[in-house]
Amino acid sequence: SVPLSFFGGIGAASKQGILVKGSNYLEALNSVDAVAFDKTGTLTKGQFSVVDVASQAGIAKDQLLQMAASVEQNSTHPIAVSIMKAYTGKLLSIEDANEQAGHGLTALINGQKVVVGNAKAMKADGIEFTEADAIGTIVYVAVDGKFWGDIVIADEPKEDAQKAIELLNNRGINKTVMLTGDNEKVGTAIAKKLHMSDVYTNLLPENKVEIVNELLTESHKDNKKVAFVGDGINDTPVLATADIGFAMGGLGSDAAVEAADIVIMGDEPSKVSKAIKIAKKTRRIVT
Ligand code: ADP
Ligand code: MG
């Protein structure tokens, strides 16, 4: 039977905006030795803003933004929101919009295929393009098989993110891993700033699952557990893979909240440490 004190622990956690879906997860938190984090929306604000637009010869910057914004108009991804904010003109109507996790989007505009996304998206469509050399998340745009240019957007770490890593380190949890679909420059710059131990970039959702499986193999050897913290719909598979999946409920998608074992209300990743602290206390009362 479940010790009553675990319910006490669940209650204490919920008062702090941490919703634990079962006492077994609270118990498992005692053994965590590695925490993996999604980047966008989890460690960073997820509020991108357009900092540069570079178009190929013969294409106006405004035209490039119009194409990108039109394709992104139905997407709720933070990148889409920032592009929509930067383009205030008239949107073109789109057909057959298709969003691909970790890549970007494609849609038809006036019968022409428009691709908006990262280098992977361009390669997948066989577009010849020039890699931009900026520190930022770079969104490339191609129309009818031709490269039109790129949009550079920037996102910042949350104020709470550094504290989240620091508090884990203070608890002796030194394996703090960033898993991101974003490019290497951005991923490594942010991971370094936050003093994280490991960073993996250019990942598709299935790659995140692979890496968490590797972490599980390592941790389980020592009877330890792996937690993953994410916010997006893309994070659903990896939330289910980790021993303990945390969803950030503030900005998080319903699917992520559903797949998670623990839901953090609001947007503070440092609540992961708070949850571990409550788990340790709960355990002390039980034994
Ligand atoms: P993260 O792993 O950092 O949370 P995502 O998995 O959401 O990021 O996205 C990974 C990458 O895929 C983004 O950095 C971007 O290059 C591309 N991407 C995803 N969705 C879109 C979109 N709607 N528009 C443009 N690019 C996108
Ligand atoms: Mg994300």
Q: How far apart are alpha carbons 35 and 23 in whole angstroms?
A: 19
Backbone angles phi, psi at 144, to 5 degrees: 55, 45
Is 38 a residue of the active site?
A: yes
ipTM over cut 0.95 = no
Model pLDDT for residues 92-101, shown as the tens digit of each residue:
999 999 999 9
Pocket test for ligand 1, best of 77, 135, 201 (most atoms within 8 A of CB): 77
Pocket test for ligand 1, best of 180, 184, 231, 248 (most atoms within 8 A of CB): 180
Average pLDDT over residues 185-189: 94
Average pLDDT over residues 68-86: 94
pLDDT, mean over the chain: 93
pLDDT band of 153, cuts 50, 70, 90: very high
Looking at residue 7, what is its pLDDT? 67
Is residue 213 helix, strand or coil? helix
> Is 234's C-beta closer than 6 angstroms to any atom of ligand 1?
yes
Average pLDDT over residues 198-227: 97
Looking at 38, 231, 235, 261, which residue is catalytic?
38
Looking at residue 181, what is its pLDDT? 92
Looking at residue 1, what is its pLDDT? 47
> Is 230's C-beta closer than 6 angstroms to any atom of ligand 1?
no
CB 131 within 8 A of CB 107: no
> Is 211's C-beta closer than 6 angstroms to any atom of ligand 1?
no
**First-to-final CA distance of the chain:** 14
Looking at residue 196, what is its pLDDT? 98
Strand 112-117 versus strand 244-248 pairing type: unpaired
- Given a cut of 70, whether residue 285 has pLDDT beyond it is no
pTM here? Answer: 0.84
Backbone angles phi, psi at 65, to 5 degrees: -65, -40
* Cα–chain center distance at 140: 20
CB 87 within 8 A of CB 64: no
Ligand that lies nearest to the alpha carbon of residue 252, given by its number in the listed order? 2
Q: How far apart are alpha carbons 107 and 99 in whole angstroms?
A: 9
DSSP per-residue letters across 234-259? GGHHHHHHSSEEEEETTT--HHHHHH
> Is 253's C-beta closer than 6 angstroms to any atom of ligand 1?
no
Taking the CA of residue 102 as reference, the ligand 1 atom at the shortest distance is 12
For ligand 1, the distance from its centroid to the CA atom of residue 180, given in whole angstroms, is 9
Structural domains of the chain ordered from first start: 4-45+157-286 (3.40.50.1000), 49-154 (3.40.1110.10)
